[in-house]
Structure 1
Amino acid sequence: MNRLTTPWGELALTRFPEDPRDQLRAWDAADDYLLRHLADEGTDLSGSLVVLGDRWGALTTALAGHGPVQLTDSYLGRRATEANLARTGTDTSAVALRTVRDEPPDRIDVLLIRVPKSLALLEDQLHRLAPAIHPGTVVVGTGMVDEIHTSTLRLFERIVGPTRTSLAVRKARLIFCTPDPALPRSPSPWPLRYALPDGIGAMADRTVTNHAGVFCADRLDIGTRFFLGTLPAPRGPVDVIDLGCGNGVVGTAVAVASPGASVTFADESYSAVASARETYHDNVPDGAGRAAFVVGDGLAGLPDDSADLVLCNPPFHSHRATTDTTARRMFGDARRVLRPGGELWVVGNRHLGYHVRLRRIFGGCETVAGHPKFVVLRAVAPAPASPANRGPRTGTR
């Protein structure tokens, strides 16, 4: 557990889920810089305060006494905020925890923005929040120096108003934006919809939807494209999970190819699950009763032995950090929810060495397909000792 000393007290903060082995902090110099700036400048926080993109709740927790509205795309970030508020004894009802898919506030007097990795998400949110910003609104962004680019400032200037930046402190920087009411108001260009290419199996020439911030906003990435060309073809009424579903193209491909399949789309991003829902319903118009959409911590809410097939393209970044923590937890979740004989199919960069982790969790794995950069791996949940309870009807091509 890390402690952040702020003008509003010392805070014990953790990420979510809390893992004693995880040495990554729940805050960084950018969070610290912004909080100190607000105190040093005596910023009036008595009005409507909105915090956008607070990664693990450091800003929201520090400013909880001012009744902030937190807007986040991350379920894990929201849970971290709840845990950190509880740890400090704060009444969580004093803080409004909302997602970026919710309706924004009608009025914003102070807008604090932790600059996201995704410029698309920043663009979408600035468009959505701009109508609530008035000439007196205090708008301050924060991020590490290598997270703030000319393109970042241009977004603020095009949608909200002119900017200036602070000096760098501990490799962090602040963005000060002055609202310009004369700027033309326009709707957000998100979500994007685009047609998929030929040669990728069941989803060839079909359309996907990407809300802002979801991986590969305007084109199919090569890893997913490779995965789509190798997917298994389930037979009969099988239960499939698209874990870390993103825009839902993988799970939808199975639903299109296998009309008897029921698919659960799971992701920790609210925008990803919204994208998957639209992608699925656009391509499987008669499949409303055969799909579920879950925003959560991996598969934590799903029962044991409930799936026949799990498909996964794990992320290997947690904000700025490269880590296999998320993949490791995804593989463990898959092992728990798979019925005996059920299969986990994973695509990943070769250098990540997922086969080692899968062998530890499942007792073995095999390579389904190889690519100079990517590999598709298959792991099977151990079969029961008794033949009376046989495995699923997953099947492969």
Structure 2
Amino acid sequence: MNRLTTSWGAYDLTRFPEDPRDTLRAWDAADEYLLRQLKGQDASDAAAPTDLSGSVAVVGDRWGALVTSIAQHRPVQITDSFLGRQATLANLARAGVDAGAVRLLSVRDTPPERIDVLLIRVPKSLALLEDQLHRLAPAVHAGTVVLAAGMVSEIHTSTLKLFERIIGPTRTSLAVKKARLIFCTPDPRIARGASPWPLRYALPDDVGGLAGLPVTNHAGIFCAERLDIGTRFFLRHLPRRHGPERVVDLGCGNGVVGLAAALANPEAAVTFVDESYSAVASAEATYRENVAAEDARAEFLVGDGLSTVPDASVDLVLNNPPFHSHRATTDSTARRMFGDARRALRPGGELWVVGNRHLGYHVRLRRLFGNCEVVAGDPKFVVLRAVRD
């Protein structure tokens, strides 16, 4: 746990789930810069504090540092991350703030009808920013204060052009501690057009029986414009199974792995799980379009891995784990996914994992399961199989 100290107050903040071994903070210099700006403490960019009266929306607040700090103004938080939402709830409670002071929405929910102050933590995904600006633009008026923050490495010319094209004239601040602010003046006269999201494409020819099937991708999911090469490799080496069983596509993204399992074994009940609201919406749309309603045997969960799945209740877990948490490279998510899978699998149940060869997942799996087999590999990827004893 780390303490964020600003002129708004001092707050003990953590990421979610809390891990005493995790040295990553629940905020960064961009959050601090934005909070100082709201107080009018960066005189080069503003002469007075920002008036936070009216409707305040905070988009992309990664772990709740922003809404916890300005909770007295009763903001709306809009996020694509279930884990970020849980961190926000924990941090609000730790700060003694009534959870009702902050309205929590996902990026798939209907946004507020009117926004007087729009605060944006620039996401890693330019597509997610584009989609959110399109969704929020109708609520923005000529008097809305639009202020965004990000690390210098996250703000590019393309970022600024999105604000210009969808909201209005845009400028940036000087960089402070490798963070930068974006100031945008809404122009109601802009003809912004429609959002290009969700994006749809047909699966390529080299993925077996899935070739040509349509896939729906909401903005912000991993490799939304095309099938990523790791998943493509995984699809060529999935297990061939038959009969009634429960399968989990863990970290499902757009759901093509779980879809492949469902089509290969119509008797299987498939659960699609991801911490991204957009990912689960993508997976559900992809599944519904490709599986006849009378054959559908699936559920779609936004959550923290397999935390809500009962022990020893699953026959097969399919997993392509991420190895980034925002800007940080870490195997913590993979470690938790593997542990969740072992708990949820029945004796004899199998975990199949695809990953970059250099990540060395086989070491972790062998330690956790007592066994690990390399099913397939190429110079970049390996598919691994571990069996629950």
| TM-score normalized by the length of structure 1 | 0.95
For residues 316-339 of structure 1, what are the alpha-carbon distances to aligned partners after superposition, in whole Å with 9 as ceiling and x for unaligned? 000010000000000000000000
Secondary structure at 1:280's aligned position in 2?
Answer: helix
2:8: which partner in 1?
8
Alpha-carbon offset, residue 344 of structure 1: 0.2
2:172: which partner in 1?
165
Equivalent residues of 2:61, 2:121 under 8 A apart:
yes
2:272: which partner in 1?
265
Q: Partners of 1:365 and 1:287 in 2: how far apart?
A: 37
Secondary structure at 2:216's aligned position in 1?
Answer: strand
For residues 335-373 of structure 1, what are the alpha-carbon distances to aligned partners after superposition, in whole Å with 9 as ceiling and x for unaligned? 000000000000000000000000111011000001110
Alpha-carbon offset, residue 217 of structure 1: 1.0
For residues 244-303 of structure 1, what are the alpha-carbon distances to aligned partners after superposition, in whole Å with 9 as ceiling and x for unaligned? 000000000110111111100000000000000001111112356510000000000010
2:159: which partner in 1?
152
* Equivalence map 1:1-397=2 (5 Å): 1-40=1-40, 41-286=48-293, 289-382=296-389
Alpha-carbon offset, residue 196 of structure 1: 0.6
Secondary structure at 1:143's aligned position in 2?
Answer: strand
Secondary structure at 2:300's aligned position in 1?
Answer: strand
Equivalent residues of 2:15, 2:25 under 8 A apart:
yes
Alpha-carbon offset, residue 81 of structure 1: 0.2
Alpha-carbon offset, residue 70 of structure 1: 0.1
For residues 199-257 of structure 1, what are the alpha-carbon distances to aligned partners after superposition, in whole Å with 9 as ceiling and x for unaligned? 21231111111000011112111110000000011210110000000000000011011
Equivalent residues of 2:374, 2:385 under 8 A apart:
yes
1:395: which partner in 2?
none
Secondary structure at 1:103's aligned position in 2?
Answer: coil
Alpha-carbon offset, residue 138 of structure 1: 0.3
Query: Which residue identity does 2:24 align to in structure 1?
Result: L
What percentage of aligned pairs have identical amino acids? 75
Secondary structure at 1:180's aligned position in 2?
Answer: coil
Query: Which residue identity does 1:100 align to in structure 2?
Result: V
Alpha-carbon offset, residue 155 of structure 1: 0.4
For residues 26-75 of structure 1, what are the alpha-carbon distances to aligned partners after superposition, in whole Å with 9 as ceiling and x for unaligned? 00000000000100131100110000000000001001000000000000
Q: Partners of 1:320 and 1:284 in 2: how far apart?
A: 36
Q: Partners of 1:201 and 1:324 in 2: how far apart?
A: 30
Alpha-carbon offset, residue 136 of structure 1: 0.5
- Aligned-residue Cα RMSD (Å) equals 0.8
Equivalent residues of 2:266, 2:295 under 8 A apart:
no
Equivalent residues of 2:165, 2:192 under 8 A apart:
no
Q: Partners of 1:126 and 1:160 in 2: how far apart?
A: 7
Secondary structure at 2:362's aligned position in 1?
Answer: helix
Q: Partners of 2:339 and 2:148 in 1: how far apart?
A: 37
Q: Partners of 1:50 and 1:286 in 2: how far apart?
A: 38
Secondary structure at 2:118's aligned position in 1?
Answer: strand
Equivalent residues of 2:250, 2:274 under 8 A apart:
yes
Query: Which residue identity does 1:37 align to in structure 2?
Result: Q
Q: Partners of 1:187 and 1:3 in 2: how far apart?
A: 42
Q: Partners of 1:353 and 1:192 in 2: how far apart?
A: 33
For these two proteins, the number of residue pairs brought into alignment is 382
Q: Partners of 2:259 and 2:363 in 1: how far apart?
A: 29
Alpha-carbon offset, residue 311 of structure 1: 0.2
Q: Partners of 2:286 and 2:317 in 1: how far apart?
A: 19
Q: Unaligned stretches of 5+ in structure 2?
A: 41-47
Query: Which residue identity does 1:17 align to in structure 2?
Result: P
Alpha-carbon offset, residue 181 of structure 1: 1.1
